[in-house]
Amino acid sequence: MSLTVVGSIAFDAVRTPFGERPRMLGGSAVHFALAASFFDRVRIVGPVGDDWSPAEEAVLSGRGVVCEDIVHVRGGRTFFWSGVYGWDLNDRETLDTQLGVFEGFAPRLSPAAAAADVLFLANIQPDLQRAVRTQARDARFVALDSMNLWIEVARDALVAAISEVDCVILNDAELRQLTGAPNLIRAAREVLGWGPSAVVAKQGEYGAALITADGFFSLPAFPLADVRDPTGAGDTFAGGLVGYVAAHPEEPVDLGLLRRAMAYGTALASFNVEEFGTERVARLTGAEITDRVRALATLTQFEVDDLELRP
């Protein structure tokens, strides 16, 4: 089986109260691919510029990510994003976004990338997401992520892109912004009405919720005493969730499967935030992930006794 991801491949400059990195490997597709590589063979699709070097590619290929669909644009510069976080790590400010090689990028999937069983449309311009979606017609499961920028400048295209996928993964605030609905459940139901069968609301350090037509599931984030950099946590979460779906080709993508997938996404995201950028996930092991998923299952379990309540 195979998993294709299209999204940003980037250099990020990030400052948090716990340190800073003026230039590190990042991008929505990169964070996703590293996380998903624990579950399936992942192909990453996106453009890079002259500043992209074998050292960055080695981080991806070191995890077995197939890099042959990365497009090298001569004379161009790789997508650049810069952000700063305050003490509330859920709240970040974007300082700079330079599209670079994404300007004028028209994704053309190779036959191998287009034949993917599972497709993830990571955060990029929604028209590009749609162009990719049409090329991977036979994918059995397609998920999409986006962000406030595209809700503000390309809402119609984003709604059209959403109507063509199975699962939408967005921050809860973005879901409300997108729909204008006052709370998460109403917002998710509205999005379900556009076509997808599942909506996942990322809630930062509070975890994530899954909403389908007939079900709801929610997990807290894994409790960590040291969080250094949340950049890429959402994409890493998506990589764990969508990767888990890809690793179960024979199972219908129902609530049961998605609940387990949420646990893997949560565990992977918790590793991502322990260090800057891709640093932690790049040297993560499968055993560490499994241990954290088990710990999460224990943490979230409880029994209901037969206590008689006072009238």
The packing angle between helices 184-193 and 172-179, to 10°, is 60
Task: Enter the tokens of residue 81.
Answer: 């994003």
Half-sphere exposure of 122 (CA within 13 A, CB side): 33
17 membership: H or E segment, kind and range: none
Q: Does 76 bind ligand AMP (CB under 6 A)?
A: no
Q: Which parts of 198-257 interact with ligand AMP (CB under 6 A)?
A: 231-235
Candidates 61, 82, 97, 218; binder of ligand AMP (CB under 6 A) is: 97
Single-letter code of the amino acid located at 187? A
**Spatial distance between the Cα atoms of 122 and 274, rounded to a whole number of angstroms:** 22
Q: Among residues 78 and 212, whose Cβ is nearest to ligand AMP?
A: 78
Q: Does 118 bind ligand AMP (CB under 6 A)?
A: no
Q: How many residues bind ligand AMP (CB under 6 A)?
A: 17
Q: Among residues 50 and 103, whose Cβ is nearest to ligand AMP?
A: 103
Under DSSP, the state recorded for 162 is: H
Q: Does 27 bind ligand AMP (CB under 6 A)?
A: yes
Q: Among residues 142 and 269, whose Cβ is nearest to ligand AMP?
A: 269
> CA angle, 59 as apex, 55 and 64 as ends, to 5°?
130
Min dist CB 258 to ligand AMP, Å, is: 19
**Spatial distance between the Cα atoms of 216 and 106, rounded to a whole number of angstroms:** 37
Per-residue interface string for the shown chain with ligand AMP, residues 54-73, x marking contact by CB under 6 A: --------------------
Q: Which positions lie near ligand AMP, rule CB under 6 A?
A: 8, 10, 12, 26-28, 81, 97, 123-124, 147, 149, 231-235
